[in-house]
Chains A and B, each alone.
Chain A
Amino acid sequence: MATATMTSACGGVAVVAADQATKWAAPSLDRTAIGAAIEPGLNRDYSLGLVGGSQTLLILGALVALGLGGWWAAQSVRSGRVPAWVGALVLGGAMSNLLDRIIRGGVLDFIVTPWIVLNLADLAVVAGLAAFSVAHLRLERR
């Protein structure tokens, strides 16, 4: 299962690269050219403003979540309980947003939906976590 772990790691790096590239390009994009509204803005808080406060504490919290979640995801991928791409999405997305907090002092959101403004890393984490939970709950039922 070393190959699966390696696939997750490489996929994670690709997710970080893709997310950082879109965040770099977002401020200069034509707001209507890609058929979606683009509105770059920095979010210093956690998801949906649920937790706010000192950026140092938020970075530490994100590091703990990334460590625990990463460990669990790595174990699950290694044992074949979840596919390698699930680990790549969760780890890559979480790492990219953490990188934002360290470099920019907050996370850059730019994709506008009717209810929320988010970024590629958020989408990757949500998709990965949903697949992760479904895979685990399916195994529990057997």
Chain B
Amino acid sequence: MNELTNTLRRLAVIAMPLAVFVATTAPRIHLK
């Protein structure tokens, strides 16, 4: 159970910043 909690916490540490990155930044691909 403790291991599952740790795995979920590690996933959240990766997933939350990714979600924040996608929704709050807006770089656009540079078309030459």
A: residues with CB less than 8 A from B are 41, 43, 45-51, 61-62, 64-66, 68-69, 72, 90, 93-94, 97-98, 100, 106-107, 109, 112-119, 121-122, 125-126, 129, 132-133, 136-137, 140
- Is A65's CB under 8 angstroms from B24's CB? yes
Chain A positions within 8 Å of B10 at CB level: 137, 140
Best-buried of B6, B20, B26 by chain A (most CB within 10 Å): B26
* Bound form: Cα–Cα A109–B14 in Å: 26
- Is B13's CB under 8 angstroms from A47's CB? no
Chain B positions within 8 Å of A72 at CB level: 16
When A107-B26, A113-B30, A137-B10 are in contact, do A47 and B21 touch as well, CB less than 8 Å? yes
Classify the secondary structure of A's interface with B.
helix
Total number of residue pairs linking A and B with CB closer than 8 Å? 104
What are the 10 tightest A-B residue pairs by CB atom distance, in nearest-first order?
Answer: A65-B23, A107-B26, A94-B24, A118-B27, A69-B20, A129-B17, A122-B25, A43-B26, A116-B27, A136-B13
* Bound form: Cα–Cα A109–B26 in Å: 8
Classify the secondary structure of B's interface with A.
helix
B: residues with CB less than 8 A from A are 6, 9-10, 13-14, 16-17, 19-30
A sample of 8 inter-chain contacts (CB < 8 A) reads A68-B20, A69-B24, A109-B26, A109-B28, A115-B29, A119-B27, A129-B17, A129-B21
- Is A68's CB under 8 angstroms from B27's CB? no
- Is A121's CB under 8 angstroms from B28's CB? no
Q: Which of B6, B23, B30 meets A64, CB within 8 Å?
A: B23
Q: Shortest CB–CB separation between residue A126 and chain B, in angstroms?
A: 7
